[in-house]
């Protein structure tokens, strides 16, 4: 902010072409086009901006996207602006007298601009217009919404107003001159119109708005801390909001000093013009430097200004951050440089050749346009930062304070109690016997140390929500609706308790938790059986969700020796409920995610039984396509996996010729390869080099010394699911081609072997980021962990779990290079020993047994992979493999579930389930 020019005695050439009112209108319309471009590009890279700002979503797929709606508004405002400007040029011909005489034209357009915002338009959403006006009204007095009501949208709009501060000042000058009898709004701008106070005041208003918002957020943090009685590790004591408020306050000296420079009067203020300039220079350097630091370090969450250890982390490019959505790191570096340049446009005043540039009307207009450009670029990265913050496995608050995200904690389970007596007893128990007692021979008093009892149910529930629901699988986020068990249906509360105890018993090997979980499960079965007898409650959402929870319980608790052909009964029951309700009754949000989770789980059932996919699954996908982004790689991959499942069923039934097996396997391999080629930038990862002996240890002999860093666990998992599916298809091609001897089969077999080698290299490169605690994965260790003896967080352990099956497939593959096979076995041993994950040891035993037998059918492996990956249940498949490796060719037909007589509309899939647990 560098001041404004004095009144020009004559109209300058630039103002003849583009008078002040048109300049204001042009920059406002330009900002609307820029926002549309923001929305458009961010939508293309799968960032849902409306959800971040809590803007009304599209209720129908027939509604146009938000960016097209924005383009429509910008077009509606641009056409009359162009017509008005052309008419003004035609009427005035650059004549100062005519320019002053036709000032009504640009001001009429400003009226059109106001009408466009306020009056309902047929092609503009009423809800959207109302929301925008409500937001403007709220922030105009410095208000800010709560996070769930659109706080981020308020911040974006208020920050945008700070970039439009000078434009708002020009708008006031234009209107003041229009209503003044001695000036024309299209004449030379008089920035002293209305007095020396009003223009600087209006320019300062946006900064005052953001200042008040920051103070409001500070008091909210203080209030929350006071209510909980402690400082939250996520929000701290609110110091960051005060620091942000300080940033906006540094704008006020710049505004005041710029206004004083416009009409310097040493006799009035007692300060010379040179001193005034030096004061302004100090103020503008502080303001620009502080604002630039905040842009990079806080708004964009980059590590450029962090300590050397954080900035130089091998986990991400220098000066950036771990979680990034834009594919190319050059985007971030370019934004950093451009933001710095545009923050310092005031430096033109320091040039002896360009010092008057900011005093020219054309120069002022250019500076205002450049500030809008800077804000446009800033929005891309600010929204990207917020989007990354809200993606799992971390939340915004935890990322910003630099701690590991533990997910949601039910505050009703956190109690502050008086432990004075307990601490006193422990202290007395550790106190040495007094000297008097030693000499008098008085008997020693035995003090029993008391311990606070641990509630297994609370502990299991907390662990389940923290590590499974919040971190591991989004399928289960419908459970957040039942955090308050007093308001949840009884069968849902019992199901949650049963699953929580099962999860706890698996993690800590607690037999007590296991037994208690079984009792809760039996109670839940009885309750849900009662619900099924009522046609109304049978269609309730909670009944469907209860079926999913009961299936999850059995997957965690039961091993293969306990699970027979009825192990998928709860899934079949859930599908029956879907058919009863009708797929169309499931709505967008948590219901849809639960339904899609059932779709994946049912696909696993089809694989395990050798049956084709149920038609209901395809109906689910048709319905879900209205609400999800069908261009997303995961959607395409899951659709192809349905086709691959049907292919596996056909092959198991022995109905296909060798040529058909080869042709269909090759076709689906190409389709999966196409998904991989089109996955970026949604599924992106960064390849990095390894060096020296340490690098050679992390990859098989003869493999490239590289490793890949993925944004998160989910992206790693999806890539490896795709690679494993392709490997199994290629193995099928190689096995089938071995039965023939023609040249075409030989060529296809060679192509499949080449593809497997490439896929193995990619799987191998995905491993070090999780397993190498010495260097590559060192950042995943808990704070303070050093040396060989260190602990691992639960999220880190879950990261390791998703690699186990990928390593298994590499070690199993007959076409895999022997060096990669040996390396995979060593990695599994390392996981079993170093991370104490027993499932890795079980996999090693399976591999040893398989060496004594012929290689497995590839489709048996898909069964294991699907259960382990798509279902995301840590124990289910690995325990299945612990007991036996099924041969799908010898699998027996699946028995039909009995159907009860009353009521006749539902299968009694829950009948007899309690007996199977004992």
| 393 and 481 co-located in one domain | no
| 396 and 469 co-located in one domain | no
Q: Are 39 and 49 spatial neighbours (Cβ–Cβ below 8 Å)?
A: yes
Report the mean per-residue pLDDT for the chain. Answer: 80
Closest CA to 906 of 569, 523, 421, 463: 569
- Residue pLDDT, tens place only, 697-752: 889 998 999 999 998 888 999 999 999 999 999 999 999 998 877 888 889 999 99
**Which has the minimum average pLDDT: 175-179, 560-564, 641-645, 673-677?**
560-564
Do the domain assignments include residue 765? yes
One-letter-per-residue 3-state SS of 372-394: HHHHHHHHHHHHHHHHHHHCCCC
User: How many structural domains does the chain have?
Assistant: 3
267 burial level (CB within 10 Å; 0-12, 13-18, 19+): exposed
| Residue 127 pLDDT grade (very low, low, confident, very high; cuts 50, 70, 90) | low
| Residue 75 pLDDT grade (very low, low, confident, very high; cuts 50, 70, 90) | very high
| 201 and 297 co-located in one domain | yes
**What angle in degrees, to the nearest 10, is found between the helix axes of 126-140 and 104-118?**
110
Do the domain assignments include residue 423? no
pLDDT of residue 352: 58
| Residue 783 pLDDT grade (very low, low, confident, very high; cuts 50, 70, 90) | confident
pLDDT of residue 852: 63
pTM of the full structure: 0.53
Q: Residue 847: phi, psi to the nearest 5?
A: -60, -40
Instruction: Specify the 3-state DSSP secondary structure of 709.
Output: strand
| 28 and 134 co-located in one domain | yes
Dihedral sign of CA atoms 896, 897, 901, 905 in order: negative
pLDDT of residue 692: 77
Do the domain assignments include residue 278? yes
pLDDT mean over 94-104: 88
Dihedral sign of CA atoms 576, 580, 583, 585 in order: negative
Rounded CA separation 30/479 (Å): 45
- Residue pLDDT, tens place only, 347-397: 877 765 566 666 688 888 999 999 999 999 999 999 999 988 876 444 444
Q: Residue 688: phi, psi to the nearest 5?
A: -130, 155
| 672 and 817 co-located in one domain | yes
- How long, in residues, is the chain? 918
| Residue 123 pLDDT grade (very low, low, confident, very high; cuts 50, 70, 90) | low
pLDDT of residue 487: 81
| 893 and 882 co-located in one domain | no
| 244 and 134 co-located in one domain | yes
**What angle in degrees, to the nearest 10, is found between the helix axes of 858-869 and 876-883?**
140
pLDDT reading at 563 higher than 50:
no
Do the domain assignments include residue 593? no
Domain boundary among 401, 435, 466: 401
Rounded CA separation 918/914 (Å): 8
State percent of the chain over pLDDT 70.
80
- Residue pLDDT, tens place only, 2-18: 444 444 457 888 888 99
Name which residue leads in pLDDT, 498 or 691: 498
Do the domain assignments include residue 600? no
pLDDT of residue 785: 67
| Residue 423 pLDDT grade (very low, low, confident, very high; cuts 50, 70, 90) | low
Do the domain assignments include residue 426? no
Rounded CA separation 205/171 (Å): 14
Q: Are 809 and 724 spatial neighbours (Cβ–Cβ below 8 Å)?
A: yes
Do the domain assignments include residue 656? yes
- Residue pLDDT, tens place only, 192-251: 887 778 899 999 999 999 999 999 999 988 888 787 677 766 667 888 999 999 999 999
Closest CA to 42 of 340, 500, 388, 557: 388
Output DSSP code: residue 434. Answer: P
- How many Cβ atoms from other residues are within 10 Å of residue 695's Cβ? 17
| 570 and 638 co-located in one domain | no
- The residue to which tokens 């023939």 are assigned: 740
| Residue 449 pLDDT grade (very low, low, confident, very high; cuts 50, 70, 90) | very low
| 872 and 904 co-located in one domain | no
- Residue pLDDT, tens place only, 798-840: 889 889 989 999 998 889 999 999 999 999 999 998 888 888 8
pLDDT of residue 358: 65
Rounded CA separation 749/114 (Å): 69
pLDDT of residue 419: 53
| 319 and 179 co-located in one domain | yes
| Residue 302 pLDDT grade (very low, low, confident, very high; cuts 50, 70, 90) | very high
| 815 and 911 co-located in one domain | no
Q: Are 325 and 384 spatial neighbours (Cβ–Cβ below 8 Å)?
A: yes
Ramachandran assignment for 18, one of left (phi > 0), alpha (psi -120 to 50 degrees), beta (any other) = beta
Closest CA to 283 of 243, 259, 256, 244: 256
| Residue 870 pLDDT grade (very low, low, confident, very high; cuts 50, 70, 90) | very low
Q: Are 303 and 310 spatial neighbours (Cβ–Cβ below 8 Å)?
A: yes
Do the domain assignments include residue 178? yes
Provide the token pair at 677: 């080629």
Q: Are 737 and 746 spatial neighbours (Cβ–Cβ below 8 Å)?
A: yes
| 893 and 839 co-located in one domain | no
- How many Cβ atoms from other residues are within 10 Å of residue 875's Cβ? 21
- Residue pLDDT, tens place only, 50-65: 888 877 666 555 678 8
Boundaries of domain holding 136:
13-401
Rounded CA separation 497/485 (Å): 10
First to last CA, the chain: 76
Provide the token pair at 150: 């659109």
Rounded CA separation 863/885 (Å): 10
């Amino acid at each position: 902010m560098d001041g404004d020019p004095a009144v020009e005695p004559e109209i300058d050439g630039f103002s003849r072409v583009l008078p002040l009112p048109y300049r204001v209108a042009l920059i406002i319309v330009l900002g609307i086009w820029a926002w549309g471009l923001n929305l458009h590009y961010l939508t293309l890279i799968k960032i849902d901006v409306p959800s971040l700002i809590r803007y009304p979503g599209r209720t129908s797929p027939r509604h146009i996207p938000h960016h097209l709606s924005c383009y429509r508004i910008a077009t509606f405002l641009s056409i009359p602006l162009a017509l008005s400007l052309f008419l003004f040029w035609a009427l005035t011909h650059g004549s100062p007298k005519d320019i002053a005489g036709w000032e009504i034209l640009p001001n009429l357009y400003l009226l059109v601009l106001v009408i466009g915002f306020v009056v309902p338009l047929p092609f503009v959403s009423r809800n959207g217009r109302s929301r925008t006006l409500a937001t403007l009204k709220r922030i105009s007095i410095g208000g800010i919404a709560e996070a769930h009501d659109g706080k981020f949208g308020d911040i974006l709009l208020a920050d945008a107003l700070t970039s439009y501060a000078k434009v708002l000042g020009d708008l006031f000058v234009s209107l003041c001159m229009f209503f003044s009898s001695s000036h024309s709004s299209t004449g030379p701008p008089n920035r002293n119109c209305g007095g020396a106070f009003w223009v600087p005041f209006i320019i300062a208003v946006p900064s005052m708005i953001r200042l008040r918002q920051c103070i409001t957020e500070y008091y909210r943090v203080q209030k929350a801390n006071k209510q909980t009685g402690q400082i939250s590790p996520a929000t701290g004591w609110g110091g960051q909001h005060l620091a942000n408020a300080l940033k906006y306050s540094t704008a006020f000296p710049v505004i005041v000093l710029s206004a004083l420079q416009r009409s310097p009067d040493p006799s009035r203020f007692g300060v010379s013009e040179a001193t005034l300039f030096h004061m302004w220079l100090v103020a503008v350097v502080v303001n620009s430097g502080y604002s630039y630091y905040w842009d990079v370090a806080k708004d964009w969450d980059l590590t450029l200004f962090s300590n050397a250890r954080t900035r130089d982390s091998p986990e991400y490019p220098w000066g950036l951050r771990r979680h990034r959505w834009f594919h190319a790191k050059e985007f971030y570096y370019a934004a950093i440089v451009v933001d710095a340049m545009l923050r310092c446009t005031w430096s033109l005043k320091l040039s002896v050749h360009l010092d008057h540039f900011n005093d020219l009307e054309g120069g002022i207009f250019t500076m205002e346009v450049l500030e809008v450009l800077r804000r446009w670029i800033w929005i891309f990265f600010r929204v990207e930062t917020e989007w990354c913050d809200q993606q799992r496995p971390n939340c915004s608050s935890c990322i910003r304070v630099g701690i590991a995200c533990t997910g949601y904690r039910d505050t009703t389970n956190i109690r502050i109690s008086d432990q004075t007596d307990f601490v006193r007893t422990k202290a007395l128990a550790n106190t040495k016997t007094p000297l008097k007692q030693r000499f008098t021979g008085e008997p020693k008093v035995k003090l029993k140390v008391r311990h606070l009892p641990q509630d297994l149910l609370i502990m299991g529930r907390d662990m389940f929500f923290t590590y499974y629901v919040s971190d591991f699988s989004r399928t289960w986020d419908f459970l957040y609706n039942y955090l308050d068990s007093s308001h949840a249906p009884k069968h849902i509360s019992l199901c949650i308790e049963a699953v929580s105890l099962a999860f706890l018993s698996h993690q800590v090997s607690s037999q007590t938790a296991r037994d208690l979980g079984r009792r809760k499960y039996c109670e839940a079965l009885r309750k849900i059986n009662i619900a099924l007898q009522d046609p109304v409650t049978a269609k309730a959402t909670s009944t469907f969700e209860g079926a999913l929870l009961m299936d999850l319980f059995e997957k965690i608790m039961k091993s293969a020796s306990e699970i027979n052909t009825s192990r998928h009964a709860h899934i079949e029951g859930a599908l029956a409920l879907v058919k009863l309700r009708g797929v169309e009754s499931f709505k967008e949000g948590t219901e849809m995610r639960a339904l899609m989770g059932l779709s994946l789980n049912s696909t696993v059932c089809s694989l395990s039984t050798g049956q084709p996919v149920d038609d209901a699954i395809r109906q689910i996908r048709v319905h879900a396509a209205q609400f999800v982004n069908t261009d997303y790689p995961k959607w395409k991959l899951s659709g192809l996996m349905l086709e691959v499942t049907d292919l596996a069923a056909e092959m198991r039934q022995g109905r296909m010729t060798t040529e058909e097996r080869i042709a269909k396997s090759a076709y689906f391999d190409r389709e999966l390869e196409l998904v991989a080629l089109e996955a970026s930038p949604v599924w992106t990862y960064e390849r990095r080099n390894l060096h020296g002996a340490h690098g050679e240890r992390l990859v098989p002999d003869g493999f490239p010394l590289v490793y890949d860093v993925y944004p998160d666990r989910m992206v790693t998992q999806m890539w490896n699911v795709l690679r494993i599916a392709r490997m199994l298809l290629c193995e099928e091609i190689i096995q089938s081609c071995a039965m023939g001897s023609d040249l075409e089969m030989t060529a296809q077999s060679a192509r499949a072997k080449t593809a497997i080698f490439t896929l193995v290299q990619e799987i191998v490169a995905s491993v070090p980021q999780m397993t190498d605690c010495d260097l590559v994965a060192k950042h995943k260790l808990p704070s303070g962990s050093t040396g060989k003896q260190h602990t691992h967080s639960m999220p880190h352990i879950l990261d390791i779990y998703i690699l186990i099956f990928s390593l298994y497939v590499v070690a199993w593959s007959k076409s895999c290079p022997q060096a990669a096979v040996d390396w995979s076995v060593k990695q599994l041993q390392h996981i079993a020993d170093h991370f104490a994950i027993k499932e890795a040891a079980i996999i090693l035993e399976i591999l040893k047994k398989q060496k004594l037998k012929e290689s497995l059918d590839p489709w048996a492996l898909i069964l294991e992979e699907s259960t382990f990956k798509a279902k995301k249940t840590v124990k289910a498949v690995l325990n299945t493999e612990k007991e036996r490796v099924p041969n799908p060719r010898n699998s027996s037909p699946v028995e039909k579930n009995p159907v009860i007589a009353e009521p006749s509309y539902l299968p009694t899939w829950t009948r007899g389930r309690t007996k199977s647990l004992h």
